[in-house]
Amino acid sequence: MFWFAVASLTPAALLGVACLWGGIWPVLAAVSITVFVFFMDRAVPLFTPEKIQSSTNSLLWSLGAAHFALWGAGIWAVGANPQLDTVDKALLLIGLGLYFGQISNSAAHELIHNAARAPRRLGIAIYGSLLFAHHTSAHMRVHHVWAATPNDPSTAQLGEGFWRYLSRAWIGGFAAGKRAEDHLRRGRARPFWTHPYTAYVTLSLGAISFSLLISGWSGLIALLVVSIYAQAQLYLSDYVQHYGLERRTLANGKPEPIGPEHSWNAPHWYSSAMMLNAPRHSDHHIHPARPFPALTIKRGQMPVLPYSLPVMAVVALVPFLWRRLMDKRAMRWRHIDKG
């Protein structure tokens, strides 16, 4: 677990210092999640994640603690720290958004898949602090059931640009998650306050109230900027990892079981370590309960991105470049999928 911890916690430490003193530290923090990761991915891998079988609990709890420490410190720093100038605050917002969108999101994702109640609640709380707790239901009740089908709002259709996808996926995910939760409660007499979406709204209101309390309106603006940035990165990840791939509809009208050919993957070692093997996406969909260190990529059986997941997320921001790079690759896998 050493490299998973190094890659995911080093940016947290740099961001923590940046919240206090500004100066060179916000720059170093942002670089540690961007340029440094790019060059480390191109270096000789120092470990092979699939050979690691040790417990993930301590790292996930550490990342949860780091998230909330940075979340509170970041809102205070941007909204009320007199040591920071405008440039410091802008760089800090970028660094925090990158960290929450790539690393906190990956930790929360692992936590909501945990069978135990306490880790699941920690994952929901992380998403709630970013005004995004409903993603828990959208991910577990919708995405893992309908991925690579039109019924999943998080599946990007072939030829669909990211910016058009973003609003559709956010609104669709919120609505689809609620429908799924409503369906599970149908016919059961339960008070409204036990509905998961009641908890999700309460968490968002709590995050907003806390931001106002510690930093006033500036803190609320910081929360909104960081949350929107982090959420956009999560959707970038979903867009990239499922773009253009689809499951066939069987004779009974149901989609075929999800397989290795229905998600894009990236083998790059350091960005994978930083994001807790989130780029090994096919294996996660096939085995949702498998601990992240054990996820694998089988070349030839699973679609592989031409560049690392963070690099591909940047390319996806420019739709015509993205389509030039990805449409033929996606069509090839769709053809293979259909036999």
57 three-state secondary structure: helix
Q: Report yes or no: 149 and 246 within 8 Å, Cβ to Cβ.
A: yes
Q: Which of 47, 73, 110 is nearest to 289 (CA)?
A: 110
What is the token pair recorded at 298? 């089988």
The per-residue pLDDT for 334 is 85
Enter the pTM of the model.
0.94
Q: Please state, rounded to an integer, the average pLDDT across all residues of the chain.
A: 94
The predicted-structure confidence for 233-284, as pLDDT tens digits, reads as follows 999 999 999 999 999 999 999 999 999 999 999 999 999 999 999 999 999 9
pLDDT single digits (tens) 290-303:
999 999 999 889 99
51 pLDDT higher than 60 = no
In terms of Cα–Cα distance, which of 88, 84, 81, 77 is closest to 29? Answer: 88
- The maximal CA–CA distance of the chain, rounded, in angstroms, is 65
Residue 238's domain spans which residues? 2-337
Residue 310: count other Cβ atoms within 10 Å of its Cβ. Answer: 24
Please give the average per-residue pLDDT across 185-208, as a whole number.
90
pLDDT tens digits for range 114-145:
999 999 999 999 999 999 999 999 999 999 99
- Choose the most confident range, by mean pLDDT, from 46-50, 142-146, 181-185, 193-197: 142-146
Type of residue at 339: G
**Per-residue pLDDT averaged across 206-226, rounded?**
97
pLDDT of residue 339: 47
Other C-beta atoms closer than 10 Å to the C-beta of 186 total 6
Reported as a single tens digit per residue, the pLDDT across 219-238 is 999 999 999 999 999 999 99
**339/335 Cα distance (integer angstroms):** 6
Contact 63, 107 (CB under 8 A): yes
Q: Count the domains in the chain.
A: 1
pLDDT of residue 215: 96
Summarised one tens digit per residue, pLDDT across range 6-35 is: 999 999 999 999 999 999 999 999 999 999
Name residue, tokens 């294996």. 283
